[in-house]
Amino acid sequence: MSHDRIDRDPPSRSPSANWLSVALAVGAVAWGANQFVPLLLVYRDSIGISASTAQATFGLYAAGLAPGLLVGGPFSDRHGRRPVLIAALIASALASGLLMVGEDGVGWLFAGRLLAGVASGAAFSAGSAWLKELSPGAAGARRATVSMTAGFAASPVAAGLLAQWAPAPMIVPYVPHLALAAMAIPLIAWQSESSARIPPAGGRAAVLHDRRFRSVVAPLAPWVFGSAAIPLAYLPSLVQSRLGSRALVFGAFVATVTALAGIAVQSLARRLDSGDGPRLLAAALGIVTTGLLVAAVAAATRSLALIVLAAIVLGAGYGCCQVCGLLEVQRLAPPDRLAGMTAAYQALSYTGFALPFLLASIAGVVAPQAGLAVLAGLAAFTLLSTTRAATMPQRT
């Protein structure tokens, strides 16, 4: 073929070394994405930003994800996973540098969070596809979820503890991420591509217009990070005034519990997956619905224990939804469009990050518990509609 791109890289290292290097890189970018979460309280207290502005800085991350995903994924399908992942690691490190000067003005926070989103979008689309290519069977989806979630889990507790007790609480918490990125860049630069790249023939319409993508994957996607974002960025703020100086550590703890639950549920997700059947789909959205109901009760009572319980359940829902969505996409996408289709799915999934901002914006009109109860109803409706669609005969 005249348009084939021949892979001239040196022979690959062992498969385990290959996927572990990619997983480390994806985890490093995920660390950079989530380290900001417990620091929201620091910025509110130190530079006086409002609750809605704090949620907006969180939401800007999601705004940056869309171009990162939709450009990085197809680019890696055409030109290779490695250059995209290296660029993402560099951009992620630069984003931390911008956040380090955030105490000088909220504009630096906006820029840093936007760039962190672009970096994450590129890394997660290319990295998820690369892990699939380096892994047997369904292991790629699980490895991608675990590597992202491990970064999401470790960073808030590290950043929260450093912000609480280390000097320069708006600078030092970002140092571990810079060290991780510096470690991952040479590993990926040495990594061999998993296969030659062949430019895709045609557009994405054949997959994106697939009935199963429209009726199952697209409705599921927002609940992936919607379920995680509620305990990460919303529930701890409801008890901030009650906790005082302990709010920062509690927020970091809740964020970590959420992410760890997403990792721990992987074995359940693996057992429940049945190909085209709806078992994993139903379980994932059922867990999300239950978690939102627990969150509604936690919001009504301001109970710390119930907030932690909601974080555990919603974290498990996040993990199941993410594995389910990635497996669905990997079954639908042809090999030459895997990263591009993964990017389309993840762009939809990250719209869920808007939920905390939405809830904070309507707080003066709608009580937190009422807003969360409405979300639980929407999740239950998604459960019913998607499981019904998943049992219908496939056709495009």
Tokens of 166: 């280390």
Percent of the chain with pLDDT over 90: 43
CB 342 within 8 A of CB 326: yes
Amino acid at 10: P
Residue 197 has phi, psi (to 5 degrees) of -100, 130
- 244's torsion region: left (phi>0), alpha (psi -120 to 50) or beta? left
- In Å, what is the CA distance from 74 to each residue of 48, 131, 215, 239, 368? 41, 16, 23, 43, 39
CB 235 within 8 A of CB 363: no
CB 99 within 8 A of CB 174: yes
Summarised one tens digit per residue, pLDDT across range 109-121 is 999 999 999 999 9
Tokens of 72: 């990085």
> Closest Cα to residue 342, out of 359, 328, 321, 356?
328
Tokens of 49: 């930003």
Summarised one tens digit per residue, pLDDT across range 265-315 is 988 888 888 766 799 999 999 999 999 999 999 999 999 999 999 999 999
Whose tokens are 């509604």? That residue is: 296
Q: What does the pLDDT average to over 198-225? A: 75
* pLDDT for residue 47: 77
Tokens of 114: 């936007």
CB 223 within 8 A of CB 379: yes
Q: What does the pLDDT average to over 368-395? A: 91
pTM of the model: 0.79
pLDDT higher than 60, residue 207 = no
Rounded Cα–Cα distance for residues 54 and 42 (Å): 10
Summarised one tens digit per residue, pLDDT across range 17-31 is 589 999 999 999 999
> Closest Cα to residue 13, out of 171, 144, 134, 157?
134
Using alpha carbons only, what angle is made at residue 219 by residues 341 and 288, rounded to the nearest 5 degrees?
115
* pLDDT for residue 209: 65
CB 178 within 8 A of CB 99: no
- Structural domains in the chain, sorted by start: 16-192+205-390 (1.20.1250.20)
Average pLDDT, the chain: 85
pLDDT higher than 60, residue 200 = no
- Could you give the dihedral angle defined by the CA atoms of residues 24, 25, 30 and 35, in that order, rounded to the nearest 10 degrees? 80
Summarised one tens digit per residue, pLDDT across range 324-340 is 998 998 888 887 777 77
Summarised one tens digit per residue, pLDDT across range 86-108 is 999 999 999 999 999 988 888 89
Tokens of 21: 């290097």
Q: Identify the band that residue 37 occupies on the pLDDT scale cut at 50, 70 and 90.
A: confident
